[in-house]
Structure 1
Amino acid sequence: MPLTNLKATETYFRDRETVIELTQKLVRIESVYRENDPTGNEEEVANFVAQYLGDIGIETYVEEVVPGRPNVIGIIDSGKPGKTLLFEGHTDVVTEGNREAWKYDPFAAEIVDGRMYGRGTNDTKGNLACMITACQSLLLDKEEFTGKIILCIPCDEEGLMLGIKHFIKNGWADNVDGAIICEPEENQVCIAQRGAIRLRVDIYGKMAHGAISWSGINPNWRMARFIVEIEKLEKEEKARLGRDPLLNWPSITPTILRAPVKGEAQINVIPDHCMMTLDIRTVPAQNHDELLGKIDAIITRLKADDPDFKVNLTVLDNRPATATSKDNPVVRATYEAVAEVTGKEPIYNGVPGATDGTFLHVHGIPIVTIGAGDREIPHQINEYVDIEELAETTAIYRLATLKFLAGEDLQ
């Protein structure tokens, strides 16, 4: 339990008003990631954030990742030797979908009955506002700390994560001692993330009349055999690994299935080409190379049984699962901050999907994921965040920073 009620302080109420207003301003800028628009739409919100950071006295850099899609980096250097803490929160959001299906305008950031509605309120402009407000609060109160704070505000988290890759490539993540990934997790302390492998499977045949099937080679039969074998592999992996206490089960999920891949489908025509995508989600106990090897072995067996089995397997994405020890300083600082701000015992959990933090983890940085927002709400119509949770998250980020950069070794 906290020694003092942090939610009753002047700082808490000041920061509450700031984070609500900043979240509204961010949500009202339509920085929607669209798959068919490679230029994205983050430039306006990135420019706004860069201006905001500069206005509150934070050293700010803007780096274009691809045309129209910049990263924003903020640096707060105490001038004293110490550790470096990184906050990460992305600027892009997914499409709003059918606007007519929304109860409230998806880009108006309306507050109704204690909730703010809009695309990005939950994932993750609300949490982006929390991390900026927390740092602004430290500066306003002239809080003493050692080391450095880096604000990583990348583009393209909802796509191929080009922004965080560019951030790391340009050296910004070097010598970082811990990172807080600002995503909607109901302020649970998430110390693990499922990994992701995205595969495209192309199987080729010979086009023919459906009534004269012997004159063609039907790729659909071969894809069906492959899918059956993949389902068996998923069951084997679940039986082998069991249920992860934070991440639940590993999974192999067929998503897109298309035949023919090009041209118009007809009921009396055998297609010459069938395509499928697999969304594979892994747990830390799985080795991605070994799992891909098992899929290759399936293909080898199917080819041995069928000389007409012609397949091409393409790895579209490969992100490992992550796990951070409860004893790591960034986890301990965050856990203690949650306990003091909320007055409750924090909950450890895992992230069901991948985040930009995956690549920071690969770079050797311990990560913890935490933020405001219902875990089930991202990407939904009528997305929302509770405004009191925004205030709570801001206070957690603020206190976690002071604890991590206190100049004391938490290990």
Structure 2
Amino acid sequence: MEEVLQRWYDLISIDSVMGHEAKAAEYVKKTLESFGLIVHMSYFPEDEKNERPSVWTVLDSGRPGPTLLFIGHIDTVDVNREAWMTDPFKPTLIDGKVYGRGAMDMKGGDAAILSTIGYFSAHRSEFAGKIMACFVSDEEGLSQGTYELVRENVIHADLALMAECRYDNVAVGFRGRFSFEVTVKGKAGHASRYPQVGENALISAGKLAAAIEALPTLSHPKLNRGTWCVRYLSGGSAGALVVPDSCYMFVDRYVVPGETAELCISQIMEAANALGLGGKVSVRLKPRKSPYMQAFAIPEDHVLVRTLQRHYRDVTGVDLPVAYDPSVCDSNILAVSLGIPVVTFGPSGGNMHGDNEYGVPEQVTNALEIYKRLTRDLLKPGAA
């Protein structure tokens, strides 16, 4: 078995469901150390027992030049073993597909990064500048691993590739995302006397929810439009004859450039006022430990994009189109928080976040070859 595929298999075999990244991090650390590199472990503050490390290293050619960052996450979503046809932590090859948790998202990308670093640690004459590699925790949660590296000021790069699982296109832009907590107040009363007595906060919240999802959004030529989604409503009591006097609403808002949290809150309050709910509605950005991700897009003709497309064509024989993702990922952090031009491309598969997730071996080996060629080209010795 090729070394990159063995590393892929090794990583799939490690249970690194979000919250339990330590064993995967230790595997990555030992692999990087075997290349003769100094390896760092980083822990975010909420990880009080130091059980959820992110791993990072820098490979220096010893010659001046730019820094290229490869980044991936080592955590996965959870599994429902009863719904799997194979052991999710035992990589199993069936009809050309390797089944296992993380086989698609995104241990193939991690393996390709590891093997890229391994190759250039043994062939330093083939590049100038530096190659940085980060393997982060909590990406499937609040991206606290990447945000901690930002807080520690350890990521310094001129260009970046996020090795997330998208193989048939390269993402050059992502929308942003905010979450809001909305509280709608009513007036309690005995249920037998309603509606003459009391004001039902659930009914008011339902009207407001419909109004929120109908609110206008800005558009972007590539990222399309922002969207509203009322994800959760809660209020009242099934065990008491009381008119509900409060309702909690959770609202997701995906945004394009130009849409801020302040604008979204203003829109919600305008909708409440239009329904006669002024003074009965409060809205706040849901508190969280890490910042919210904002939208971004890099030019389609950026050297990073064009170089990746060229080498993808050389390796696979087909063109690699650009894409714009409607969701968010750690690429948003690199682009917005650090100002690093970033593309998102890596080996993929199927059933991401679902039962019987799988990856494709050829995509893993091709990704490695593409990463190597990309590095040689972007960090070419003697380049101006």
In the other structure, the counterpart of 1:161 is: 143
Question: How far apart, in 2, do the equivalents of 1:266 and 1:408 lie?
Answer: 76
Structure 1 letter corresponding to 2:300: K
Question: How far apart, in 1, do the equivalents of 2:241 and 2:125 lie?
Answer: 73
Question: How far apart, in 2, do the equivalents of 1:270 and 1:42 lie?
Answer: 46
Query: Which ranges in structure 1 are unaligned for 5 or more consecutive residues?
Result: 1-15, 34-39
Q: TM-score, normalized by length of structure 2?
A: 0.90
Matched, 1:338 2:312: yes
Q: Residue 166 of structure 2 aligns to a residue in which SS? A: coil
Question: How far apart, in 2, do the equivalents of 1:179 and 1:339 lie?
Answer: 20
Q: Is the CA contact 1:118–1:384 (under 8 Å) kept in the aligned structure 2?
A: yes
Matched, 1:364 2:339: yes
Q: CA RMSD in A?
A: 2.3
Q: Residue 132 of structure 1 aligns to a residue in which SS? A: helix
Q: Pick from 367, 377, 387: which aligns with 2:361?
A: 387
In the other structure, the counterpart of 1:28 is: 13
Structure 2 letter corresponding to 1:29: I
Question: How far apart, in 2, do the equivalents of 1:307 and 1:167 lie?
Answer: 43
Cα shift readout 1:340-397 (whole Å, capped 9, x = no counterpart): 21122221112232111111111111110001114x6321111111111111111111
Deviates more, 1:306-315 or 1:59-68: 306-315
Question: How far apart, in 2, do the equivalents of 1:287 and 1:409 lie?
Answer: 40
Question: How far apart, in 2, do the equivalents of 1:400 and 1:232 lie?
Answer: 44
Question: How far apart, in 1, do the equivalents of 2:263 and 2:5 lie?
Answer: 47
Q: Pick from 106, 122, 135: which aligns with 1:124?
A: 106
Question: How far apart, in 2, do the equivalents of 1:70 and 1:321 lie?
Answer: 27
In the other structure, the counterpart of 1:11 is: none
Q: Given the superposition, is the C-alpha separation of residues 398 and 285 from structure 1 closer, same or farther in structure 2, using an over 3 Å criterion?
A: farther
Q: Is the CA contact 1:205–1:308 (under 8 Å) kept in the aligned structure 2?
A: no
Q: Is the CA contact 1:217–1:308 (under 8 Å) kept in the aligned structure 2?
A: no
Query: Which ranges in structure 2 are unaligned for 5 or more consecutive residues?
Result: none
Alignment of 1:153-302 (within 5 A): 153-174=135-156, 176-213=157-194, 214-233=196-215, 236-237=216-217, 241=219, 244-245=221-222, 247-260=223-236, 265-266=238-239, 268-284=241-257, 286-302=259-275
Deviates more, 1:314-323 or 1:146-155: 314-323
Question: How far apart, in 1, do the equivalents of 2:116 and 2:168 lie?
Answer: 15
How much does 1:271 deviate?
2.7
Q: Pick from 309, 321, 326: which aligns with 2:300?
A: 326
Cα shift readout 1:72-123 (whole Å, capped 9, x = no counterpart): 0011000111101111101111111x21111111111211111111111111
Structure 2 letter corresponding to 1:327: D
Question: How far apart, in 1, do the equivalents of 2:213 and 2:228 lie?
Answer: 7
Question: How far apart, in 2, do the equivalents of 1:344 and 1:32 lie?
Answer: 34
Cα shift readout 1:4-63 (whole Å, capped 9, x = no counterpart): xxxxxxxxxxxx711211111112211112xxxxxx211121112111110122321112
How much does 1:286 deviate?
4.0
Q: Residue 286 of structure 2 aligns to a residue in which SS? A: strand
Question: How far apart, in 1, do the equivalents of 2:332 and 2:277 lie?
Answer: 39
Question: How far apart, in 1, do the equivalents of 2:123 and 2:296 lie?
Answer: 35
Q: Is the CA contact 1:89–1:154 (under 8 Å) kept in the aligned structure 2?
A: yes
Q: Given the superposition, is the C-alpha separation of residues 121 and 88 from structure 1 closer, same or farther in structure 2, using an over 3 Å criterion?
A: same
Question: How far apart, in 2, do the equivalents of 1:277 and 1:352 lie?
Answer: 20
Structure 2 letter corresponding to 1:58: L
Structure 2 letter corresponding to 1:357: S
Q: Is the CA contact 1:87–1:150 (under 8 Å) kept in the aligned structure 2?
A: yes
Question: How far apart, in 1, do the equivalents of 2:383 and 2:159 lie?
Answer: 13
Q: Given the superposition, is the C-alpha separation of residues 339 and 307 from structure 1 closer, same or farther in structure 2, using an over 3 Å criterion?
A: closer
Structure 2 letter corresponding to 1:393: A
In the other structure, the counterpart of 2:348 is: 373
Question: How far apart, in 2, do the equivalents of 1:209 and 1:338 lie?
Answer: 68
How much does 1:327 deviate?
2.8
How much does 1:139 deviate?
2.9
The share of aligned pairs that are identical, in percent, is 30
Question: How far apart, in 1, do the equivalents of 2:169 and 2:382 lie?
Answer: 24
In the other structure, the counterpart of 2:282 is: 311
Q: How many pairs were matched up?
A: 375
Q: Is the CA contact 1:241–1:285 (under 8 Å) kept in the aligned structure 2?
A: no
Q: TM-score, normalized by length of structure 1?
A: 0.85
Q: Is the CA contact 1:27–1:108 (under 8 Å) kept in the aligned structure 2?
A: yes
